[in-house]
Structure 1
Amino acid sequence: MKKLVFLGLTACFMYAGEMDVTIKPVNNEIYKNECGSCHFAYPAGLLPSSAWNKMMSNLSNHFGDDASVDEKTFQTLSSYLNENSAEKSMNYKRSRKIVENLNGTIPDSISKMPYIKKKHKEIKENLITQKEVKGLFNCTACHKNAEKGIFSEEDVNIPNYGKWEKDD
């Protein structure tokens, strides 16, 4: 019995302090290589499929850049993004919240998502637009474990500000 209690306590301490994965991390190497070569490879669960489809339909003008890919790569990327989009990832907290806050909109970028804007509304604009962050699109500037799918408030560290602590 003592051994069982010891093992249980050990397991609790091993996982204490670990943060919850709140969105499905990227698990597609083609997507990581194609999209991640220019910017953070955003988890597909940050946008609904309608927004991903809108974005993929205009890769020749992807936020001012030509991100065109060959047909096979296009199909691979589109399939991955649609199969893992926000509405298909409802078992993850952030994806679920993103879908719940859409209100019929099809935003053309992650930084225009109603839920993303809502989550960042308390952060002063100058902290978001500073050169070290640049904007809401640059998740990894503040969310240090974004690549692991961790977008919790406890994990936010804003450049030139520090750890984010919500005023209660």
Structure 2
Amino acid sequence: MSRLTFAKSAAWCVLWAALSAPAMADGPLMPAQVPSVYKQECAACHTAYLPGLLPAASWRRIMGGLERHYGSDASLEPAQVQQVSAWLLAHAGTYKRVREEPPQDRITRSAWFVRKHREIAPAVWQRASIQSAAQCSACHTQAEQGQFDEHQVRIPR
């Protein structure tokens, strides 16, 4: 490879990385500081979702209706609601795939979730080892850290 060709290739790589960085940076990752009440209360029934998986408007509605949270009473003390809400809103998704609010503010009904899981038969979600689509960590072994690499998926029997 000539020096000029190598330089052009290197320049394109640097340009691609610079242009891609913002898109990758605001993808779903679990923020470093997670409120303990979020881990305790939310993860008691389902995966402690990454705040970046929903837009701020969805989180506002969810946190404003905890007494009727998808058929359960998930009420918290007002100070806890304020703390968790502030954290969720500060880390809410703003990137392309979460700009559109999913039906009923359900992550599992968002267009990107449905597309990514289209090969999963409905019966798989009903397995006792999985329970529902809301249990990301049942199959995504590193979901709690915000890692959803398809090479890390293990669908339990």
Shorter-chain TM range is 0.7 to 0.9
Equivalent residue for 1:144? 141
Which runs of no fewer than 5 residues in structure 1 stay unpaired?
A: 1-19, 91-95, 161-168
Matching residue of 1:56: 63
Q: The residue matched to 1:80 in structure 2 has which SS?
A: helix
Encode CA deviations 1:44-67: one digit per residue, 9 max, x unaligned. Answer: 111111111111111111122211
- Structure 1 range deviating more: 136-145 or 104-113: 104-113
The answer to whether the 8 A contact 1:50-1:106 is kept is no
The 5 A counterparts of 1:52-131 are 52-87=59-94, 90=95, 96-99=96-99, 102=100, 105=102, 107-131=104-128
Instruction: Tell me the residue number matched to 1:6.
Output: none
Task: Give the total of aligned pairs.
Answer: 131
Q: CA deviation at 1:110?
A: 1.4
Write the letter of the residue equivalent to 2:28.
I
* Contact residue 46 and residue 134 of structure 2 kept, 8 A: no
Question: Does the 8 A contact of 1:44 with 1:81 survive in 2?
Answer: yes
Q: Greater share of helix residues, 1 or 2?
A: 2
What aligned pairs does 1:15-34 form with structure 2 within 5 A after superposition?
A: 23-26=28-31, 27-28=33-34, 29-34=36-41
2:67 is aligned with what amino acid?
S
TM norm structure 1:
0.69
Give secondary structure in 2 for the equivalent of 1:158: coil
The CA deviation at 1:108 is 2.0
Shift of 1:143: 0.3
1:159 maps to a residue whose letter is: P
Q: Which residue of 2 aligns with 1:9?
A: none
Does the 8 A contact of 1:31 with 1:77 survive in 2?
yes
CA distance in 2, matches of 1:105, 1:33: 25
8 Å Cα contact 1:107/1:113 also seen in 2? no
Q: Secondary structure at the match of 2:131?
A: coil
Offset at residue 31 of structure 1 (A): 1.6
- Of 39, 47, 55, the match for 2:46: 39
Cα distance in 1, alignment partners of residues 44 and 85 from structure 2:
17
Supply the RMSD in Å over aligned alpha carbons.
2.2
Distance 1:135 1:39, change over 3 A: closer
